[in-house]
Amino acid sequence: MRRLTLLPFFTALVCMSCTHVWGFAAVQSPATTASRIKIRRSSTAHRRPTLLGATTTDGEKDPNEIIATRIVVTGDVNGGYYRSCVKNEAGRFRKLIGTMSPPDDKSERAEIYVEGKRKMISGFVRWCERGNVGLSQQITVESVNEEDAAGLLDDFYVQNRTGITKNGTRKMN
């Protein structure tokens, strides 16, 4: 009994399919690409960050405006894990600038001051309101106050009782 090999058949089929698809894509591609570039240029026009209080045409606040927010959190805020999570979430993931103050001994509360785009800050506030960052840490947001952005900082800093840390290094006074 003779064995039929289907390899030549499938090779010819694949080559014909590729040629057909390539010919179709080459004919359609230049016009499609040009129209896509025009659409992208018109829809993603470079928008500069706006100042506090700017609104869109719909009356809503602009998500790209630069604002500052002061968040007061209470609970287990003196732990290093929570403080490093705040630093990573604000500075690394959301590209916000600001500070986190050292916790008070008696009230176990700390203050987080962040500046950045409105949409990034609202996401960071939602992250803070989750309340369960670690396995046993319980954090509650006491207050959230929006302010004018000062623009004095260049990164997110975590203040400890011994000094200010940025990216794990301590600044000596």
pLDDT at position 46 over 70? no
DSSP string, 136-170: S--EEEEEEEEE------SSEEEE-SS-EEETTEE
pLDDT tens by residue, 94-112:
999 999 998 887 788 999 9
Average pLDDT over residues 10-22: 56
Q: Catalogue all structural domains in the chain, each as residue range(s) with its CATH number.
A: 66-170 (3.30.70.100)
Going by pLDDT thresholds of 50, 70 and 90, the confidence category of residue 7 is low
Average pLDDT over residues 141-163: 88
Average pLDDT over residues 159-168: 66
Distance of CA 101 to the CA centre of its chain: 22
- How far apart, in whole angstroms, are the C-alpha atoms of residue 2 and residue 20? 33
Q: How many CA atoms lie within 13 A of 6 on its CB side?
A: 3
- How far apart, in whole angstroms, are the C-alpha atoms of residue 19 and residue 14? 9
Q: Which residues, 6+ apart, have CB-to-CB distance to 167 below 8 Å?
A: none
pLDDT tens by residue, 56-74:
555 678 888 999 999 999 9
